[in-house]
Amino acid sequence: MTDNSLRTDLFSPTKLGEIELSNRITMAPLTRSRTGEEGIPNELNVTYYVQRVSAGLIISEATNISSQGRGYAMTPGIWTEDQVAGWKKVTDAIHVAGGKIVVQLWHVGRFSHVDLQPNREAPVAPSVIKTTGNVYTHRGIEKSSMPRALRTDEIPDIIEQYRHAAECAKRAGFDGVEIHSANNYLLEQFLRDSTNHRTDQYGGSIENRARLVLEVVKAVTSVWGGGRVGIRLSPVTIEVGNTPLDSNVMATYGYLIQQLNKFKLAYLHFVEGTTGRNRDVPEDIDLDALRSLFDGAYIGNNNYDFEMAISRRAEGKVDAVAFGRPFISNPDLVERLRYGIELVDVNNDAYFGNGAKGYTDWLKANY
């Protein structure tokens, strides 16, 4: 391809499984804490997502699959009828505007606080290992609580939470779902031997530690089929609670990815490096080698700029690129990239809370 065609390739239509995209630029999931305590999307959320509809695919902010799965205040859910109705307003508006949106299904596991849990119960995890991180509660920033280990007989209920959320997502009008198996939350806590010290069929060997992820994928694809289900992985991310890496990243994630191929998923959404920080990778880990094991479409994520996106696409290393923070302050990011318009820098104070300010007013405000 010529230099010009390389630059325009990102704006060409593509397909991720059964999901047709108008371009190869996706909006990464971004927690913004702009819903009420019941986790019901509101009109402000509708405006926010529609403003960013030019993305080929919008991946929603991480969305709780149950009251147990919640780890941050004012984040949306997808397990009650009221939440379904709230999200339906978002998806309807997106579709009227010509866009596509999938919901990211989220269970935080140990990364929570008793104030956010039903009946102030302890958060659940594969093992009784406390994270060092903080969470956002109704009172502000708090240290995460000590988790309890899930009993083996409780794990089917976790899988059912994902299946139920997937059904709710279909009724809410989404174009598909993304399983959040990254960023050191519940599914990745089971996957890594640094956070999984179990001795039952969900702990010990790589096959056992990957079991829950694969059972969740099976449950979700039973609702949607593989072609409308993506999954997010982050093999070297440690930022949530300073979670140590698995002792053998290549073997563990390599096994998981090869098993995922059986489901013929729409895409693999891969965090290349440490989420939101850098693209540094330990010398013994080859993320491109892991990526190449996946048979389907691949979304690259983490600190991409336009030139990197062009380069990685030209090398055949990505099918689409996820941009995160640039979409916060540039709702019209796709057009800005297409026409070389300077990007607006995000104001960190605008990330969480604050209502419309720093959320839906970027097109008319000067930050």
3-state secondary structure the chain: CCHHHHHHHCCCCEEECCEEECCCEEECCCCCCCCCCCCCCCHHHHHHHHHCCCCCEEEEEEEECCCCCCCCCCCCECCCHHHHHHHHHHHHHHHHCCCCEEEEEECCCCCCCHHHCHHHCCCEECCCCCCCCEEEECCEEEECCCCEECCHHHHHHHHHHHHHHHHHHHHCCCCCEEEECCCCCHHHHHHCCCCCCCCCCCCCCHHHHCHHHHHHHHHHHHHHCHHHEEEEECCCCCCHHHCCCCCCHHHHHHHHHHHHHHHCCCEEEEECCECCCECCCCCCCCHHHHHCCCCCEEEEECCCCHHHHHHHHHCCCCCEEEECHHHHHCCCHHHHHHHCCCCCCCCHHHCCCCCCCCCCCCCCCCC
- Annotated catalytic residue, options 49, 185, 255, 267: 185
Give yes or no: 304 in active site.
no
Catalytically active residues are 185
